Chains A and B, each alone.
Chain A
Amino acid sequence: MIHAFAYLIRTSTRNRLASQARRLRQPVYALAAVCGLAYFWFVYFRRDASGRAGAPVFSPEIGAFVPLLILLYLAWAWVFGADKTALAFTPAEVSFLFPAPVTRRQLIWFKIARGQVQILLTATLWVALFHKGAETLSPVLRVVGFAIVLSTLNLHRLGVALAHSSSTEHGWRGVRRHALPITVLGGIAAATAWGLWPAVAAAWAMPEVRGGVRLVSLALQTGPVSMALWPIRATISVAFAANAAEWVQALPAALAILVANLVWVARADHAFEESAAEASAIQARKLAAMRARRSGGVTHAVNVKTNRTIPLAPRGSPWVAIVWKNVMSLMRSGGLWTLLWPGVITVSVAIGFSERSEVTAKMLVAFVPFLAVMLAFFAPMFTRNDLRTDLLHLPMLKTLPLSGRQIVLAQILGGALPVALGQALLVVAAVIANGNTGTDKAVALWLMSGFAVASPVVLVALNAANFAIHNGIALLFPAWIRLGSGGPGGVETMGLGILTFLAVAVALLLLLIVPAAVGAGAYFGMGAHQAAGLVAGLVLGSVVLSGELWLLTTALGRAFERVEPTQVA
């Protein structure tokens, strides 16, 4: 069986790479590859050529927070359930392997082995992207170190998913089967929280942020918190080792934790198989549904409530139907609420507390722009209710009596409008909170009111630009990106996400150069009328950006009309 699995992984990987390499014959893919290689040459070899000593990726002060962030990630997975794709098999794997004479344990071993290919690729990308100056550790050892960290996190994520499946089927008995990892992680979390609390409380009372960060960082590196976080620090030390000696020293502990996770997953599988055998008729139905979910999305919408809908009139601009469809999809997949809840919560806090507490008001005013920026950058990563999903329906979309530009524009707006709505709520919260910051406003009144007036236009234009780039990448490089909302996720596919993120950020910056220049010109042109100048600058900049988007959607529309289903496969 191992030979069959090895053959499947080897040939699939080889053929996939060969297929992607063949795409380089197409000019657009060749150009993208040249740009990508040029980027790596600049960030990697040029830095090496400079001969400067490599600075660590993080300063020790900030680096101390990395184990804490990983602990929070793991705790989140345990409390709210690991990513459902952790247990996902492809439809072909379900079709061929599930009915085959293969044990569930073998299936999970296969899944772990298959994930290593992605992990190795991601580790290589990470090392290349975060490479700094002349390294004192060989890139090969660095890649191996990152691969160990990613494998450990991936295994833990798989174990959490299995534990959740077990608890769903067997309740408390299912939880008991995972008592050891729950105790270990729970112990780490409790000890960390207990040990860190005094430092956090003291940092809160400090007048400046930097001093507070230093204090918490120190607490993370010393005393009981440092001891509690040792397993996580031991795992990541192998990836961040400064030289070969440190790497060798860190390796045994990292490998031991990797093996411990491996053993846990194997044992979790045993419990899982055992539980399946014990299942009653009802539980068997649940298991069948769960197995179906693994196939990649046939039944993932089963529990979606369909009683809530948005009316759609049969007459009017036809392309609006696509915007409606995409917003409906976002609403039913839970994505709409994810976009709106930061705004809803901040507006509630602003109304409920900011009048009574000026500190709360000031914190809100400072925090809201951060949330809005996070939403702008990260929302398009998880709200893929646009061409990144609909290209899977390309034949159907192409039979619709709509021009390519109309379809592309509707797809962009279907993502951009909900994000803009989420950000508009944040603006409302900021305006309310700023009004409660006393006579010495946190943000000058003219600045806040100017931005609030212009925000509907600015937010729609900015988000449309962002989504246009994401959709453009999907349309121009459909064979190189993951289409659909499901599919493999987690740490093993982070590399592709980082690359996409970089490409989007660069493209967005280029797209904003002219609108920013025009907006700045309008602002400074208004002289002393600061508020009016700000509104004029923002609106004019948005208008110019909309003009650019018009040209971009026209070009993408033509690309949509040219793209064929075989190119998307």
Chain B
Amino acid sequence: MIAVRQLRKHYGTFTAVNGIDFEVHPGEVLGLVGPNGAGKTTTLRCLAGIIAPSSGSVEICGHDIQRAGVAAKRGLAFIPDEPALFDYLTVEEHLRFIARIYSVADAEQRIAPLLGELELSEKRTTLPGELSRGMRQKLAIACGLLHDPNVLVLDEPLTGLDPGGMRRMRATIAARAAAGTSVILSSHLLTLVEELCTKLLVIRRGECVAYGTLPQIVETHPELAGLSLEEVFLALTGDGQSRDLST
């Protein structure tokens, strides 16, 4: 479970995130959408404990990420858009490293099926420098899933994956949510968001402009009734330029 209250993040005089509130319960998938520079990555980084909020609170599985960071992070996995891997650890060693960090007792039983699921079995002894971009992304995903997290935070998870990989990743996210994981998914692929997310958080210039299920959002913005998600997104984020350009 994720609970975010009045989250704010300032960089000097610039406000990247300004008073965002939301909750993600077990089994829910929250789609975090917004135009470039809206504050999505900053929000996700605050959630994952990478950066400290200027004010407000983030609770992961009942633990405040600032005051009880270690306990909060034990149940969390953050999968970034740009995989950060260690140059001199092989694929399998990355998983062993993660297993020790998260004390995964049955790591041996989990590693082989996970590598198989992500089509990395043949790359077990390969270093990241020899992997393609997509393979590196798959390895980052495998590291995130190994300890069976209660909270899954994904920033553009399909970047670099081939169509087969994308399909499997979508199925994995859905399966994890069905098993009770709280998922936050940030993506510009609105079809992915539409397919997987049970509710949406639309942010613009660091502020929440819509939050809830799509019907709930339409209820509070009746003018959006009957529009596609893409049109809803463009209307909410005030990005009229795209439509102007197309006309």
Lowest 10 CB-CB distances: which A-B pairs, in order? A321-B100, A401-B73, A329-B88, A314-B107, A332-B88, A301-B129, A314-B99, A396-B84, A401-B74, A398-B50
8 Å CB contacts to B: which residues of A285-319? 297-302, 304, 306-307, 309, 312-316, 318
8 Å CB contacts to B: which residues of A233-288? none
Known: A325-B97, A329-B87, A395-B80. 16 other contacts (CB 8 A): A300-B129, A301-B127, A302-B130, A314-B99, A314-B100, A314-B106, A314-B107, A315-B105, A318-B100, A321-B101, A328-B89, A396-B80, A396-B84, A398-B48, A399-B76, A401-B72
| Cβ contact within 8 Å between B70 and A301 | no
- B205 is an interface residue with CB less than 8 A from chain A: no
B66's nearest neighbour on chain A, judged by CB, is: A561
Over the window 186-222 of chain B, the binary record of Cβ atoms lying under 8 Å from chain A Cβ atoms (1 yes, 0 no) is 0000000000000000000000000000000000000
Give every chain A residue within 8 A of B52 (Cβ-Cβ). 561-562, 564
For this complex, into which size category does the number of interface residues on chain B fall? 35 or more
Give every chain A residue within 8 A of B104 (Cβ-Cβ). 314
Over the window 389-411 of chain A, the binary record of Cβ atoms lying under 8 Å from chain B Cβ atoms (1 yes, 0 no) is 00011111011111100000000
| Cβ contact within 8 Å between B45 and A395 | yes
* Cα distance A297–B45 in the bound complex, in angstroms: 26
- B121 is an interface residue with CB less than 8 A from chain A: no
**Contact (A299, B96) CB under 8 Å given A318-B101, A328-B88:** no
| Cβ contact within 8 Å between B101 and A304 | no
Give every chain B residue within 8 A of A329 (Cβ-Cβ). 86-89
Give every chain A residue within 8 A of B100 (Cβ-Cβ). 312-316, 318, 320-321, 324
Give every chain B residue within 8 A of A393 (Cβ-Cβ). 84, 86
| Cβ contact within 8 Å between A395 and B84 | yes
Give every chain B residue within 8 A of A328 (Cβ-Cβ). 88-89, 93
- A50 is an interface residue with CB less than 8 A from chain B: no
Over the window 169-211 of chain A, the binary record of Cβ atoms lying under 8 Å from chain B Cβ atoms (1 yes, 0 no) is 0000000000000000000000000000000000000000000
Binding site for A on B (CB under 8 A): 11, 45, 48-52, 69-74, 76-78, 80, 84, 86-90, 93, 96-97, 99-108, 125-130
A396's nearest neighbour on chain B, judged by CB, is: B84
In whole Å, how far is A316's beta carbon from the nearest beta carbon of chain B? Answer: 7
A interface SS class: loop
| Cβ contact within 8 Å between B73 and A400 | yes
A486's nearest neighbour on chain B, judged by CB, is: B87
* Cα distance A315–B99 in the bound complex, in angstroms: 8
| Cβ contact within 8 Å between A298 and B129 | yes
In whole Å, how far is B107's beta carbon from the nearest beta carbon of chain A? Answer: 4
| Cβ contact within 8 Å between A395 and B101 | no
| Cβ contact within 8 Å between A565 and B97 | no
* Cα distance A392–B93 in the bound complex, in angstroms: 19
Which residue of the partner chain, among A304, A312, A396, contacts B96 with CB atoms under 8 Å? A312
Give every chain B residue within 8 A of A439 (Cβ-Cβ). none
* Cα distance A403–B93 in the bound complex, in angstroms: 22
Give every chain B residue within 8 A of A138 (Cβ-Cβ). none
Over the window 315-341 of chain A, the binary record of Cβ atoms lying under 8 Å from chain B Cβ atoms (1 yes, 0 no) is 110101110110011011100000000
Give every chain A residue within 8 A of B97 (Cβ-Cβ). 312, 321, 324-325
Which residue of the partner chain, among A313, A325, A400, contacts B89 with CB atoms under 8 Å? A325
* Cα distance A561–B49 in the bound complex, in angstroms: 9
Give every chain A residue within 8 A of B129 (Cβ-Cβ). 297-302
Give every chain A residue within 8 A of B90 (Cβ-Cβ). 306, 309
Give every chain A residue within 8 A of B125 (Cβ-Cβ). 306-307
In whole Å, how far is A79's beta carbon from the nearest beta carbon of chain B? Answer: 27
| Cβ contact within 8 Å between A333 and B101 | no
* Number of chain A residues close to chain B: CB under 8 A: 42
**Contact (A564, B51) CB under 8 Å given A309-B93, A395-B45, A399-B76:** yes
- A222 is an interface residue with CB less than 8 A from chain B: no
In whole Å, how far is A479's beta carbon from the nearest beta carbon of chain B? Answer: 15
- A59 is an interface residue with CB less than 8 A from chain B: no
* Cα distance A36–B127 in the bound complex, in angstroms: 41
Give every chain B residue within 8 A of A561 (Cβ-Cβ). 52, 69
| Cβ contact within 8 Å between B88 and A333 | yes
| Cβ contact within 8 Å between A566 and B11 | yes
Over the window 330-368 of chain A, the binary record of Cβ atoms lying under 8 Å from chain B Cβ atoms (1 yes, 0 no) is 011100000000000000000000000000000000000
In whole Å, how far is B40's beta carbon from the nearest beta carbon of chain A? Answer: 15
**Contact (A401, B87) CB under 8 Å given A300-B129, A301-B127:** no
8 Å CB contacts to B: which residues of A370-427? 392-396, 398-403
Give every chain B residue within 8 A of A392 (Cβ-Cβ). 84
* Cα distance A390–B183 in the bound complex, in angstroms: 28
| Cβ contact within 8 Å between B126 and A306 | yes
* Cα distance A298–B76 in the bound complex, in angstroms: 29
* Cα distance A316–B105 in the bound complex, in angstroms: 10
| Cβ contact within 8 Å between A395 and B50 | yes
* Cα distance A195–B53 in the bound complex, in angstroms: 70
Give every chain B residue within 8 A of A400 (Cβ-Cβ). 73, 101
| Cβ contact within 8 Å between A402 and B88 | no
* Cα distance A565–B50 in the bound complex, in angstroms: 8
Give every chain A residue within 8 A of B101 (Cβ-Cβ). 318, 321-322, 400-402
| Cβ contact within 8 Å between A398 and B70 | no
* Cα distance A443–B129 in the bound complex, in angstroms: 50
19 contacts between A and B (CB under 8 A): A301-B128, A301-B129, A301-B130, A314-B105, A315-B103, A320-B100, A328-B88, A328-B89, A329-B88, A393-B84, A395-B48, A399-B78, A401-B69, A401-B71, A401-B72, A401-B73, A401-B76, A562-B52, A565-B45
* Cα distance A436–B9 in the bound complex, in angstroms: 68
8 Å CB contacts to B: which residues of A449-474? none
* Cα distance A68–B80 in the bound complex, in angstroms: 52
| Cβ contact within 8 Å between A399 and B50 | yes
Give every chain B residue within 8 A of A299 (Cβ-Cβ). 129-130
* Cα distance A400–B70 in the bound complex, in angstroms: 8
* Cα distance A300–B125 in the bound complex, in angstroms: 16
* Cα distance A299–B87 in the bound complex, in angstroms: 9
Give every chain A residue within 8 A of B45 (Cβ-Cβ). 395, 565
* Cα distance A396–B78 in the bound complex, in angstroms: 8
Give every chain B residue within 8 A of A312 (Cβ-Cβ). 93, 96-97, 100
**Contact (A301, B88) CB under 8 Å given A312-B97, A321-B97, A399-B49:** yes
| Cβ contact within 8 Å between A401 and B102 | yes
A316's nearest neighbour on chain B, judged by CB, is: B100
